[in-house]
Structure 1
Amino acid sequence: MEERKWENMSSDCLVNIFKRLDLDMLLHDVPFVCKNWYQALLDNPLCWQNLVFPRNASESGNYQSRFARFLQFGGANVSAALDFVLNRSRGLATTVVLPSFTNIEDVLYVIDKCPALRFLAVPSHTFVVDYEDILDPVSGDYSFDSLASLDEFAEECYKQMSARKCNYMIQIIDKIELHCKDFVGLSVENAEFSNEVTSAIVSKLATLKYLVIDHAILDKKHLEIILLGCIDLEMLHIRDSLSFDENAYDVFKVYDVYILKLASRIKDFRYGDFEESSLWPFCEESDLLPFPDYIVYDDC
């Protein structure tokens, strides 16, 4: 009996296998097995449907260090590196988990390039706003110069940074509504939820099935709007988030019986400080193999 060779496996079989592999293997292992495997990977965008970057590619360890070398190709904002994998997917990517140092411009670019997108995880760095970001770009002076005290200055800084973070969320929601008609799952970290943000979620992403909110600012009234408006939610995870309701900094201290009753219809409603990956339903909906621990964004 003639021995069958891996390199002679049909293209359809290879694609069915490759689309279940993580991004690291697609970039650093599969292309170097043989020419047939490399060609199958290059010719079939279905292999690149699940683009899952590690939480922090700069961490020690073989997996992260290999990603660090790859991302250096894209420079400081990794735009070119993201463009590389997005071009391979040719608009067919359905799951994108972005690396922890992705900025807002890169997030919006990814959404533009992925009309088939169903699941998106946005890391904390996207919503980081520094004091320098609210300086006057011409003179270098602060854009507010009539404040009477340091406390007023700090309060005004916070207001402007908060407004900037909310604006980023609205930009992401608007882009998703415009380009991604089959979108069902969103994970955000370090975001801030205002009346405008929650209204945008309810009006433009009302068919969400999965929502993960991690290390965010989320008041009870905003959570209530989401629960009442997103009636298709099957999973809602709220992890290590804060609230300013009634001067309570633990959002879960202000979740009353009414909120818990609203959430009772959701199959998987979790809140608090839990360690397991919040993105596992994204994996089950896609063809990707189970997400490893590095997908959980613990810090930036």
Structure 2
Amino acid sequence: MGKRKRKRNRNRSGRYYPSKKKMGNRRWEELNQDCLVEVLRKLDIESLLTNIPLVCKSWYKASLDPKCWKCLNFHELASSPYLRPPYNSPFFDDFNILNGNNDLTNAFIKFVVDRSQRCATTLVIAGFFTQQSLEYVSQEFSIEFNYMHLSTCSKKNQSIMGKRKRKRNRNRSGRYYPSKKKMGNRRWEELNQDCLVEVLRKLDIESLLTNIPLVCKSWYKASLDPKCWKCLNFHELASSPYLRPPYNSPFFDDFNILNGNNDLTNAFIKFVVDRSQRCATTLVIAGFFTQQSLEYVSQECPELKCLNIPMEFMFGDEGQHLSKFIGSWENLELLSIEICYYLDQILTPISTHCHKFQALCCREIQIRDEDAMAIVKLEQKIKYLRLSSCLLSRENVVMILKGCRHLELLIMRYCSGFNVDDEILKLASHIKTFDYQGTYA
């Protein structure tokens, strides 16, 4: 009992982490695969196919684990100007998969589905799915499948210098990865920080706070990079029985942040926002936001471009205060909102202060006369307008079409209160894309 206690390294929260001396000789391939898979399984399909396999051989091996492919969100891959951020992806444009070639598209979907090894539990279908791909998916998901969401929407380089070619290690896609011999002496802290940050920035807030900092010191340092906090999705943290998976999270229940303590909730939001260092460009508000937290976010996120307001926030009393702060985001380009009874009050400051605004997405909103007039006031700004399952009269549709002459895309799917006749089609003739599927009077 009289011996001196060994000094242990601890962070601010009191958790133990290995000393630098102990970490010095650790190699990439020694990183626990279960821990790595737990991180990679939260990435999207594009990252798992194009970024992760190129880091090193161990990361490529981890990306093949079926756990990484339990959630197949093909909707994120679709390139569309009216999809909610961060779902805008140039993946298919870059790789020419969707250029009218159904065989190539079906082969790609089959390739991704096969990675799950019949273990996928979540599927988000995209607009490029064909009957053949749907049939294949239905066969491969016949055992373990509990959730589905229906969404709307090279040759190898050769040397001609006559020299003998050096043998290079390549995976099935023909991409080069380092040999095991070269990787042998690489250590964790030597992993390129920019590459690591590019991966971590696609994780959610919960993972960046509770999982990544405990891997090692270099990962903790990378998680502090402002690039990892450009997209602040608080909606994923909310524990709610009617939220879509994988958004059901016990995070707040575990840490007792939402037990009626607004001061603790505001402090947590402030802590997360400060991590972005005023560089956040995407914000998804949750139902637990208060007026105080809204005010702080409006001051500390001056570069905000995309704002998403879900229905549970609009149901509360705090939603009425949003119009006071939304004008602070002068760089705002896109607003997505659900079930709002005072849309005109929110759009008025946007037309005055947000000079870069160009896209509006509304879902399950009754568009009144004053709301339609507020949309028309955005005439010189708005280029993309999406109304999903909204109720509006024929007069308001005509008002919007006559007033918004700069529209390039107009989506009015499953809206009620009007029928699309020849007059409406004539007024919409200047719009490049006009989709009115499912509308009825």
TM bracket (short chain)? 0.5 to 0.7
| 1:196 paired to 2:370 | yes
Given that 2:379 and 2:406 are in contact with CA atoms closer than 8 Å, whether structure 1 keeps it comes out as no
Post-superposition CA distance 1:158-178 (Å, at most 9, x none): xxxxxx922xx2332244456
Given that 1:119 and 1:185 are in contact with CA atoms closer than 8 Å, whether structure 2 keeps it comes out as no
Higher relative contact order (CA 8 A, sep 6+): 1
Shift of 1:201: 2.7
Q: Which amino acid aligns with 1:3?
A: N
Shift of 1:193: 2.5
Post-superposition CA distance 1:274-293 (Å, at most 9, x none): xxxxxxxxxxxxxxxxxxxx
1:64 to 234, 244, 248: 248
1:98 to 270, 275, 285: 285
Q: Which amino acid aligns with 1:207?
A: K
| 1:87 paired to 2:274 | yes
Q: State how far apart, in whole Å, the 2-side matches of 1:51 and 1:231 are.
A: 33
Q: Residues 17 and 96 of structure 1: is their aligned pair in 2 closer, same or farther, counting only changes over 3 Å?
A: same
| 1:115 paired to 2:302 | yes
Taking the TM superposition and a 5 Å limit, the aligned residue runs for 1:34-45 are: 34-42=216-224, 44-45=225-226
Q: TM-score with structure 1 length normalisation?
A: 0.58
Given that 1:192 and 1:218 are in contact with CA atoms closer than 8 Å, whether structure 2 keeps it comes out as yes
Given that 1:30 and 1:38 are in contact with CA atoms closer than 8 Å, whether structure 2 keeps it comes out as yes
Where does residue 341 of structure 2 map in the other structure? 165
Taking the TM superposition and a 5 Å limit, the aligned residue runs for 1:137-156 are: none
| 1:48 paired to 2:235 | no
Given that 2:367 and 2:391 are in contact with CA atoms closer than 8 Å, whether structure 1 keeps it comes out as yes
Given that 1:206 and 1:229 are in contact with CA atoms closer than 8 Å, whether structure 2 keeps it comes out as no
Q: State how far apart, in whole Å, the 2-side matches of 1:197 and 1:206 are.
A: 17
Q: Residues 58 and 193 of structure 1: is their aligned pair in 2 closer, same or farther, counting only changes over 3 Å?
A: same
Taking the TM superposition and a 5 Å limit, the aligned residue runs for 1:157-236 are: 165-166=341-342, 169-177=343-351, 180-204=354-378, 206-236=380-410
Shift of 1:256: 2.4
Q: Residues 215 and 54 of structure 1: is their aligned pair in 2 closer, same or farther, counting only changes over 3 Å?
A: farther
Where does residue 257 of structure 2 map in the other structure? 73
Shift of 1:123: 1.8
Post-superposition CA distance 1:257-297 (Å, at most 9, x none): 33234445243635438xxxxxxxxxxxxxxxxxxxxxxxx
Give the match's secondary structure for 2:377.
Answer: helix
Q: Residues 259 and 101 of structure 1: is their aligned pair in 2 closer, same or farther, counting only changes over 3 Å?
A: farther
Give the match's secondary structure for 1:213.
Answer: strand
Q: Residues 81 and 129 of structure 1: is their aligned pair in 2 closer, same or farther, counting only changes over 3 Å?
A: closer
Given that 1:184 and 1:207 are in contact with CA atoms closer than 8 Å, whether structure 2 keeps it comes out as yes
Q: Residues 201 and 75 of structure 1: is their aligned pair in 2 closer, same or farther, counting only changes over 3 Å?
A: farther
Given that 1:190 and 1:215 are in contact with CA atoms closer than 8 Å, whether structure 2 keeps it comes out as yes
Given that 1:190 and 1:214 are in contact with CA atoms closer than 8 Å, whether structure 2 keeps it comes out as yes
Where does residue 38 of structure 2 map in the other structure? none
Give the match's secondary structure for 2:357.
Answer: coil
Given that 1:202 and 1:226 are in contact with CA atoms closer than 8 Å, whether structure 2 keeps it comes out as yes
Shift of 1:65: 2.3
Q: Which amino acid aligns with 2:309?
A: V
Aligned length: 229
Given that 1:236 and 1:268 are in contact with CA atoms closer than 8 Å, whether structure 2 keeps it comes out as yes
**If you compute each CA radius of gyration, which structure gives the higher value, 1 or 2?**
2
Q: State how far apart, in whole Å, the 1-side matches of 2:207 and 2:236 are.
A: 12
Q: Which is worse superposed, 256-265 or 30-39? A: 256-265
Where does residue 195 of structure 2 map in the other structure? 13
Q: Residues 62 and 20 of structure 1: is their aligned pair in 2 closer, same or farther, counting only changes over 3 Å?
A: closer
Q: Residues 79 and 49 of structure 1: is their aligned pair in 2 closer, same or farther, counting only changes over 3 Å?
A: same
Shift of 1:113: 4.2
Q: TM-score with structure 2 length normalisation?
A: 0.42
Where does residue 212 of structure 2 map in the other structure? 30
Give the match's secondary structure for 2:425.
Answer: helix
Q: Which is worse superposed, 7-16 or 55-64? A: 55-64
- CA RMSD in angstroms comes to 4.0
Given that 1:58 and 1:68 are in contact with CA atoms closer than 8 Å, whether structure 2 keeps it comes out as no
